[in-house]
Homo-oligomer: A and B are copies of this chain.
Amino acid sequence: MEKPKTGQEFVMHADIPAEDMPTWTKRRIAAHGEDLMLVENEFMTGDTAPEHEHFHAQITYVIKGALEFTVDGETKTLRSGDSVYIRPHTVHSAVAVEDSLIIDLFAPQREDFLD
């Protein structure tokens, strides 16, 4: 699997390996460079992203489905077109209440995803 840390410019969806995740269904690492990364995640109803935090700024945007998203103790249900900005080092978590497709954006990129 090619996931160069120096960046991938044009990334065709069909070329991205889908990774099985411990608490949700699939992850695909899409376009990225040192300063910015886009990751697509598939959740089935009931899948979770347990509470965590990181030094990267994050935005999550919902393409389809619905998730209960908690940031720093505040929970909202996000649906298609809704988004949330998460400041660095802010605790956040999610539970899918429908089968969902979301994208997560990180600045800078998640080097830990490329190992």
| Interface 9-mer from A19-27, A43-51, A77-85 | A77-85
- A31 to B33 CA separation, bound complex (whole angstroms): 21
Per DSSP, are chain A's interface residues mostly helix, strand or loop, or mixed? strand
Establish whether residues B85 and A32, one from each chain, have CB atoms under 8 Å apart when the complex forms: yes
- A108 to B36 CA separation, bound complex (whole angstroms): 9
Question: Which residues from chain B contact A33 at a C-beta distance below 8 Å?
Answer: 57, 85, 87
Q: Does A7 contact B (CB under 8 A)?
A: yes
- A88 to B7 CA separation, bound complex (whole angstroms): 13
Question: Which residues from chain B contact A58 at a C-beta distance below 8 Å?
Answer: 36
Establish whether residues A83 and B38, one from each chain, have CB atoms under 8 Å apart when the complex forms: yes
> Smallest CB-CB separation from A40: which chain B residue?
B81
